[in-house]
């Protein structure tokens, strides 16, 4: 059964444009409340990032859930993985996140966690969509849901993050610049690294509702790179607006993306004695990671782009590590979802155990040049058009077994992502832009 509203990462769009409206979100809260209630579990937690529309949608969800007879625990601004954690520890029947992740402030979205802190199964999302088509019926007045605010939510999550590295871990020798993207980690992240002893230089910690992800964070690391070099810091950590992604900057100003961080964590886990035979990546995962993992005796399992598909494969194969090059890394032996702070902590722990700086720690993996071009599209996307198919085949023939081509529609934005990867940077760059032009012309014809 196809879903009308839910994408790969919940429901997302521009604020004020259907379905990201207060009327729809109120009905969504009611439908979710009806679908998620379970015997002995009658509380839903709600958290949000720092974008201005979060106030409006938090209130709408609260009203809808109350109308369905569900109690609400309000967390306030909280990283998405923190909401997943508190959903489990507060024994809620679900967690709801009001966030559009790395998107600008004028977008927002709603995504859900099940009571075990993982993404909702498709069947539950489909049930919510069925209920959205039914009239909203309020429960009896004596059965309305009540709301409470969890005043120590941030403190609980900070302690959990610190617990994911060995007891006694000290970051006292490290000077770290932490870019919180004016988002949900603005208080939590500096606290975690600071309480573990690091000298923390915070950036992006003055959210005003409009500046989330604005020229900062994991998608715009230029300012962090300059700050790391200016401060003479050991490294930089860049989180996105809702805190589920991370990239890092070494002391030389070089960026480490999710593929390189995943390699560092996987190698460290093996050296520490963890037993696993594969890591999960996506169709976008760099060939260099696949080659480096093979040298460690590990396979790379590729799945469709989207953290929910990484999670599905991890659970199906009983694996512990997976992620995307965007910096969405899942350490299932530490937590239940992608977590930027916890992933960064695993890298820092690997640094301490190895005695190496971040620049040297990434040695062992050489990234293949990979160029990604976004082609803006409107309407239906048909990538099987003759011109596109022939152009892709021609590039693949030229790259041979030393490169890859991938075309895919984004699950969160109105774009087609054109990716070309290969051994020679100039060749890859040329092929990517040529292919993007073909896609743009074919889809606009």
Mean pLDDT of the chain: 95
Mean pLDDT of 143-157: 97
410 contacts: CB under 8 Å, gap ≥ 6: 374, 416, 417
Between strands 246-250 and 235-239, the pairing is: antiparallel
Is 66 in the active site?
Answer: no
Between strands 175-179 and 235-239, the pairing is: parallel
Contact 415, 376 (CB under 8 A): yes
How would residue 442 be classed by pLDDT, with cut points 50, 70 and 90?
Answer: very high
How would residue 1 be classed by pLDDT, with cut points 50, 70 and 90?
Answer: low
| Tens-place pLDDT, residues 215-226 | 999 999 999 999
Mean pLDDT of 329-340: 97
* d(C-alpha 23, C-alpha 118), whole Å: 27
Catalytic residue among 53, 66, 101, 343: 101
Show the CA angle centred on residue 352, arms to residues 350 and 356, nearest 5°.
85
pLDDT for res 40: 66
- Omega of the bond prior to 19 within 30 degrees of 0, cis? yes
* d(C-alpha 236, C-alpha 89), whole Å: 31
E strand map for 223-369: 235-239, 246-250, 255-256, 278-282, 299-303, 321-323, 329-331
Helices (H) and strands (E) in the chain, counts: 14, 18
Domains present along the chain, CATH in parentheses = 11-151 (3.40.120.10), 169-255 (3.40.120.10), 257-340+350-361 (3.40.120.10), 370-444 (3.30.310.50)
| Tens-place pLDDT, residues 71-114 | 999 999 999 999 999 999 999 999 999 999 999 999 999 999 99
| Tens-place pLDDT, residues 242-251 | 999 999 999 9
């Amino acid at each position: 059964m196809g879903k009308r509203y839910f994408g790969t990462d919940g429901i997302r769009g521009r604020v004020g444009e259907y379905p990201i409206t207060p009327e729809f979100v109120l009905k969504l809260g009611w439908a979710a409340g009806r679908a998620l209630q379970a015997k002995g579990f009658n509380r839903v937690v709600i958290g949000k990032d720092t974008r201005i529309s979060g106030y409006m949608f938090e209130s709408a969800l609260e009203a809808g859930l109350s109308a369905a007879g569900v109690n609400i625990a309000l967390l306030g601004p909280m990283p998405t993985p923190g909401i997943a954690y508190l959903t489990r520890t507060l024994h809620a029947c679900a967690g709801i996140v009001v966030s559009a992740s790395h998107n600008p402030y004028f977008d927002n979205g709603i995504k859900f966690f099940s009571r075990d802190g993982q993404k909702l199964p498709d069947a539950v999302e489909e049930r919510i969509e069925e209920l959205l088509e039914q009239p909203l019926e309020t429960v009896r007045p004596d059965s309305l849901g009540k709301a409470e605010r969890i005043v120590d939510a941030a403190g609980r999550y900070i302690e959990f993050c610190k617990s994911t590295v060995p007891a006694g871990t000290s970051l006292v020798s490290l000077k770290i610049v932490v870019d919180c993207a004016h988002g949900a980690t603005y208080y939590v992240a500096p606290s975690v690294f600071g309480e573990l002893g690091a000298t923390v230089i915070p950036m992006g910690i003055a959210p005003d509702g409009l500046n989330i992800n604005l020229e900062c964070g994991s998608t715009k690391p230029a300012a962090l790179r300059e700050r790391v070099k200016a401060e003479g810091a050991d490294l930089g950590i860049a989180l996105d607006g809702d805190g589920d992604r991370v990239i890092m900057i070494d002391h030389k100003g070089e960026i480490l993306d999710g593929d390189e961080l995943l390699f560092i964590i996987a190698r460290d886990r093996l050296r520490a004695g963890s037993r696993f035979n594969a890591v999960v990546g996506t169709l976008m995962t760099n060939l260099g990671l696949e080659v480096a993992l093979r040298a460690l005796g590990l396979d790379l399992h590729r799945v469709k782009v989207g953290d929910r598909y990484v999670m599905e494969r991890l659970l199906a194969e009983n694996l512990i590590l997976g992620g995307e090059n965007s910096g969405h890394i899942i350490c299932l032996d530490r937590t239940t979802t992608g977590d930027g702070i916890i992933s960064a902590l695993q890298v820092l722990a690997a640094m301490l155990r190895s005695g190496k700086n971040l620049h040297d720690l990434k040695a062992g993996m050489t990234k293949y040049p990979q160029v990604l071009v976004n082609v803006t599209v409107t309407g239906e996307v048909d990538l099987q058009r003759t011109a596109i198919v022939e152009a892709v085949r021609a590039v693949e023939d030229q790259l041979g077994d030393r490169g890859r081509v991938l075309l895919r529609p984004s699950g969160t934005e109105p774009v087609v992502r054109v990716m070309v990867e290969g051994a020679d940077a100039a060749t890859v760059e040329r092929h990517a832009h040529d292919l993007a032009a073909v896609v743009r012309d074919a889809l606009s014809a």
